[in-house]
């Protein structure tokens, strides 16, 4: 299996297949087809087969995919067969909701540190974590070898925080601030943009 030169759009669909596989498993199924997997993922069966064929042979003609086997394979491809420690920066309402949300930990994203710049928030407990000052953030993150972070600070502070995270060695940033972040090659940003998603829908109303 080579993972070189896989189109990013294909990679972006793997987590969707994973979500659907986990849903099918919850429903008690053990085998699925490209038809079913596609239908429940909102993707055509042909696209499912083509996407998965980039990574190897995961099913047999006519007998479908074993759900556990395919789940394991996709987890390995996406490097989700391990736990990723995550730094969360910004502990407002959204930061609190994320810190308390079990969904990330269930998928292997372990919030290890929480940082904020507000002296009134430093030292407070959120879940199992004590909020730490951003003053030592770069050293703490670098020392722990953390490569994944979430930004939940106000827009005006997001780029500064991103720059510090990158200085600390972070390579993947989930950005909840509604601003585009500029990052160097080798660092990836995904922005969570519910407002942009809303504004996309109103066009059709």
Residues making contact with a second copy (CB under 8 A): 11-12, 14-16, 18-20, 23, 40-42, 77-80, 84, 93-94, 96-97, 100-101, 103-104, 107, 109, 147-148, 171-172, 174, 176, 178-180, 188, 190, 192-205
Tell me the closest approach of the beta carbon of residue 3 to a second copy, in angstroms.
Answer: 8
Contact 58, 37 (CB under 8 A): no
Contact 176, 151 (CB under 8 A): yes
The smaller minimum CB distance to a second copy, of residues 135 and 199, is found at: 199
Tell me the closest approach of the beta carbon of residue 114 to a second copy, in angstroms.
Answer: 15
Contact 187, 168 (CB under 8 A): no
For 116-132, the DSSP string reads ES-TTTTT-EETTEE-E
The smaller minimum CB distance to a second copy, of residues 75 and 133, is found at: 75
The smaller minimum CB distance to a second copy, of residues 133 and 179, is found at: 179
- Tokens for 38, please give them: 């596609």
The smaller minimum CB distance to a second copy, of residues 77 and 141, is found at: 77
| CA-wise closest residue to 107 among 84, 87, 128 | 84
The smaller minimum CB distance to a second copy, of residues 19 and 30, is found at: 19
Tell me the closest approach of the beta carbon of residue 40 to a second copy, in angstroms.
Answer: 6
- Tokens for 96, please give them: 């609190």
Tell me the closest approach of the beta carbon of residue 125 to a second copy, in angstroms.
Answer: 16
Tell me the closest approach of the beta carbon of residue 162 to a second copy, in angstroms.
Answer: 14
Show the DSSP H helices in 134-193 as ranges: 137-144, 155-167
Beta-carbon count within 10 A of 107 CB: 16
């Amino acid at each position: 299996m080579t993972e070189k030169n896989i189109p990013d759009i294909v990679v972006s669909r793997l987590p969707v297949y994973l979500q659907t596989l986990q849903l099918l498993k919850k429903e008690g199924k053990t085998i699925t087809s490209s038809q079913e997997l596609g239908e429940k993922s909102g993707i055509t069966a042909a696209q499912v087969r083509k996407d998965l064929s980039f990574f190897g042979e995961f099913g047999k003609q006519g007998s479908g995919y074993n759900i556990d086997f395919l789940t394991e394979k996709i987890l390995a491809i996406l490097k989700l067969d391990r736990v990723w420690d995550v730094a969360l920066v910004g502990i407002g309402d959204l930061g609190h909701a994320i810190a308390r949300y079990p969904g990330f930990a269930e998928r292997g994203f372990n919030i290890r540190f929480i940082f904020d710049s507000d002296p009134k928030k430093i030292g407070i407990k959120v879940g199992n974590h004590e909020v730490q000052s951003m003053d030592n953030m770069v050293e703490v993150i670098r020392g722990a070898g953390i490569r994944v972070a979430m930004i939940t600070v106000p827009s005006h502070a997001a780029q500064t925080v991103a720059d510090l995270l990158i200085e600390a060695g972070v390579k993947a940033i989930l950005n909840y601030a509604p601003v585009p972040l500029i990052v160097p090659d080798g660092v990836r940003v995904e922005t969570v943009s519910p407002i942009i998603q809303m504004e996309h829908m109103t066009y059709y109303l």
